[in-house]
Structure 1
Amino acid sequence: MAHPPEATPEPAAGVNEITTPVPGSATDQVTGSERSTGRRVQRTVNFDQEVLERARAAATHLAAYEPAAGVRSLADIVNPAVAAYVAELEREFNRGEAFRPVHRMPPGRPGKRT
């Protein structure tokens, strides 16, 4: 579908990055072919600038012009992508099992192993 150059969609709900905690609310999240109900929480994550810009542009465009895509926010792109990558890491490095849960990640980057 062609759009006139002056047509600029309004930002989709949830596209702005917010770093304050959000009180938990039960929401349906669709990940691949699985459907799970989980609490959504906000975290600050550092993205490569180009990746973030492309994802924000995709979320904004799809929310405004392509409702069949099912993307209404940046989270609709990020959640399934992270879930798929974690599943791949579990298969490759943990015999397909979920990694042991952690309550708090250590700050900063881990030191180099020799």
Structure 2
Amino acid sequence: MPAAPAAAPAAPPSPAQQMPPAQQMPADALAFPAEPVPTQPGLQQGEAEIDRAEDDAGPRALAILDLNTASVADLNKLRGGGAIGRAITAKRPYASVDQLLSKRVLSRAVYEKIKDQVTVR
């Protein structure tokens, strides 16, 4: 009786074959949602999501900045102020916060938005 030929070694199963059927991702699954998140005109999708999150968030803890020592970058980050850092640093030193108005550094509208976020030490 002749000996049966030796079977070829079986190839290892592919990763898809190793996963149980419930965990396999369907072939038509997408990594991104089918419908885009609506955005406001002129805003990127991420910026619109940040704006929406800021609107939903409670009051933010405010860091009080010293007008005489804060950096331009820190002053520009004041909520409601915009790019005011260079104007503030150009008119230093300040004896009080209200000198932002008397030295004509900021408009009253911008001053009202940032006055509680700054101090003079």
Q: TM-score, normalised by structure 1?
A: 0.22
Structure number with bigger Rg: 2
